[in-house]
Every structure is written in structure tokens, then in C-alpha cells.
Amino acid sequence: MTTATENPTPATAKGITVTEKAIARIRSAMAKEGISPEQGGLRLGVQGGGCSGLSYNIRFDTQPRERDRIFQFDDVRVFVDPKSFIYLHGMTLDYQETLMQQGFVFVNPQATKSCGCGTSFSA
């Protein structure tokens, strides 16, 4: 089992990086949802809309789709469809907990503009 540290070391797989905190949170949430790590995983995507033109989409999926890129981080898999990968290549997924908020944070070097909600960007 991977443990989170104060200065997490990110795990990188072919263009997508996921921090140890995010891996631990994904693992925990998948267990609560009853999603098997051998079959399912976290789906990251991009869709049109939002304040800045594009929005991040994050959810659990029970299995990958035919053309998905599948990234492995320990026992956690991340699925990304080919169109979304164009915008997510080089991105880091982190998980932050503060007194004000908690949740996944997208650090995307391809985003030229983002808004305050943290889920909308333009490239």
C-alpha cells in the first residue's frame, strides 16, 4: 500500500502524473464504490463547456473502453480517451485537503487560461 507524505512524490506514466495523495484517495474511493482495481479505474476526460471553454471530467468506470489509454499507478488504473489525452498529456493529478476545501486538483501545463472553479480551462 502506498502512503501519502507531506511532500508527495508523483508517479508518472507516459505523460500523466498522479501524486501519492491522489493515488491513495482514488484507491480508497474505489473500495467504497465497490469497484475492482483489476477491472475498473478512474476515468479522466475533457469536455466542451465551463467558464473557460473546456471542463475536466473525472469519474469512476467499471472497465476501460476500446480506444482508451490505460495508465497504471501501483494498483490504480487511470483511463483516458484519445481526444481527452490531447489536452491532458503532461498533466498532474493531485489531491489536496485544506480547511477550506478538499478534492482533486488538475495541474495542466497545456491550460493557457483557467477559472476560479478549478475545473474549467482553455488550451
27 CB-near residues (< 8 Å, 6+ apart): 1, 2, 37, 74, 75, 76
pLDDT at 28 over 60: yes
More confident residue, 117 or 71: 71
Q: Pick one of 3.40.50.80, 3.40.50.800, 2.60.300.12, 3.30.70.1450 as the CATH number of 12-122.
A: 2.60.300.12
Query: Three-class SS of residue 44?
Result: strand
Q: What is the pLDDT of residue 106?
A: 87
Mean pLDDT computed over every residue of the chain: 81
Q: C-alpha cell of 118?
A: 478549478
Domain boundaries, the chain: 12-122
Instruction: Tally the residues of the chain.
Output: 123
32 CB-near residues (< 8 Å, 6+ apart): none
Q: Give the number of other CB atoms < 10 A from CB of residue 89.
A: 15
